[in-house]
């Protein structure tokens, strides 16, 4: 079996490298030097450049103006974005496009996907629920009223909610069925309370008070909300892998140049062992990422996210240690990567939450298998 990337996927990666080649991680103020957001909006100039490079329509079906590629291609692009700390909602928009393409009505696909592909509609997504410790669809209720739907509830830490054109909001019906609604941030009944993330980006707590959503802007397929969340988790892993890879390269270059006792510190055994451990972390992050990207089942996504959360934290902590005091200096780019790593570690759930979810999934499978075997034994006994 050939596990290499296709020519189309590799071409997308090369286009992303070109688009991100001029992005400077320190193009905005340091999050350590401001008590508010580092900028009022995401990088609109970069967003338009991504649109011109056909990267925003990467996963949009061809009949709606995109390239029709898959999650693996999106993750290749996101990995490049993570290397430069690109300040764009590429993950959220791409995940929303994949979800709408898979589960949305023809009306919604025709109205939304072409606008995503040409860069005129940036989509953000709620993934933390009302508290950050619950499934996001449980934080919002939706009820049908006439020819529209009405949303009530709260979603916290929604990135770029103030400036994105649409918010993807998971919710649940009175019967408990999960749905996915697309809401404009300026819609009547939408309240946005300012929040600021660890990496200095502008977030918001989104309050929905009897917000009306036309039936055509709601995805009622029960799989859609969970699918979106798994895509966000997987894309988060890709961003973390890109960031960790860049930090490991920065650290390797630094310890090769810095000298103590007349020798590069990279030649010291303790330094080499720490760097080797972090390389193993990075390879594990990438291996589990691609498994999840090719088959985003709940189990694979939980494994990938737990490795990404713990791995990216260990990589930046070791980098800070090996850089000494230089790594904490706000004039050094490394401290920005540390802030972004902490944000990625906790976004869409920390490692412990995904390990707990994985345990529940494995227990459920074991219980189901045990029950199935019991039924087979009873059937065999009856037949005998």
**Do residues 154 and 130 touch, judged by C-beta distance below 8 A?**
yes
pLDDT tens sequence across 318-377: 999 998 877 778 888 999 999 999 999 999 888 998 999 899 888 876 565 555 554 455
| Pairing verdict, β 218-219 and 166-172 | unpaired
Q: Tens of pLDDT along 79-113?
A: 999 999 999 999 999 999 999 999 999 999 999 99
What are the tokens at 92? 């959220």
Q: Give me the pLDDT at residue 201, please.
A: 95
Q: What is the pLDDT of residues 2-34, one digit of tens each?
A: 678 999 999 999 999 999 999 999 989 999 888
| pLDDT value of position 382 | 45
Residue 1's pLDDT is 61
Instruction: List beta partners, residue 168.
Output: 125, 182
Strands (E), the chain: 123-125, 140-145, 148-159, 166-172, 178-183, 190-196, 202-214, 218-219, 259-260, 263-264
Model confidence pLDDT, tens digit, residues 170-221: 999 999 999 999 999 999 999 999 999 999 999 999 999 999 999 989 999 9
Query: SS3 helix, strand, coil % of the chain, rounded to 5?
Result: 55, 15, 30
Q: For 44-190, where are the alpha helices, taking DSSP H only?
A: 44-52, 71-84, 90-103, 106-117
Burial 271-296 (b: 16+ CB within 10 A, else e): beebbeebeebbebbbebbbbbbeeb
Label residue 255 by pLDDT band (50, 70, 90): confident
Q: Give pLDDT, residue 367.
A: 62
């Amino acid at each position: 079996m050939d596990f290499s990337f296709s020519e189309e996927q590799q071409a997308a990666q090369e286009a992303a490298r070109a688009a991100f080649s001029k992005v400077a991680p320190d193009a905005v103020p340091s999050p350590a030097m401001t008590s508010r957001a580092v900028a009022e909006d995401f990088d609109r100039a970069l967003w338009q450049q991504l649109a011109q490079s056909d990267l925003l329509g990467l996963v949009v079906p061809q009949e709606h103006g995109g390239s029709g590629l898959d999650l693996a291609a999106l993750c290749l692009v996101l990995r490049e974005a993570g290397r430069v700390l690109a300040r764009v909602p590429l993950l959220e928009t791409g995940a929303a496009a994949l979800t709408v393409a898979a589960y949305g009505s023809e009306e919604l696909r025709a109205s939304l996907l072409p606008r995503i592909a040409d860069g005129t509609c940036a989509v953000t997504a709620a993934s933390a629920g009302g508290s950050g410790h619950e499934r996001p669809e449980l934080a919002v209720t939706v009820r049908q009223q006439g020819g529209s739907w009405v949303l009530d509830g709260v979603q916290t830490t929604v990135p770029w909610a103030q400036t994105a054109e649409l918010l993807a909001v998971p919710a649940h019906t009175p019967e408990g069925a999960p749905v996915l609604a697309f809401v404009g941030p300026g819609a009547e009944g939408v309240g946005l309370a300012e929040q600021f993330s660890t990496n200095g980006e502008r977030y918001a707590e989104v309050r929905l008070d009897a917000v009306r959503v036309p039936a055509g802007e709601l995805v009622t397929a029960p799989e859609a909300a969970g699918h979106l969340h798994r895509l966000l988790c997987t894309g988060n892993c890709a961003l973390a892998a890109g960031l960790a890879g860049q930090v490991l390269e920065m650290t390797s270059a630094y310890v090769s140049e810095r000298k103590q006792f007349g020798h590069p510190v990279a030649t010291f055994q303790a330094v080499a062992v720490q760097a080797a451990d972090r390389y193993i972390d990075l390879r594990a992050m990438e291996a589990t990422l691609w498994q999840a990207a090719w088959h985003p089942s709940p189990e694979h996504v939980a494994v990938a996210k737990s490795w990404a959360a713990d791995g990216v934290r260990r990589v930046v902590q070791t980098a800070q240690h090996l850089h000494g005091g230089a790594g904490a200096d706000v004039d050094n780019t490394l401290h920005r990567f540390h802030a972004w790593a902490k944000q990625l570690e906790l976004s869409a759930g920390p490692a412990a939450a995904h390990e707990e979810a994985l345990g529940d999934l494995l227990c459920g499978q074991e219980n189901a298998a045990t029950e199935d075997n019991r039924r087979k034994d009873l059937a065999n006994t009856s037949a005998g």
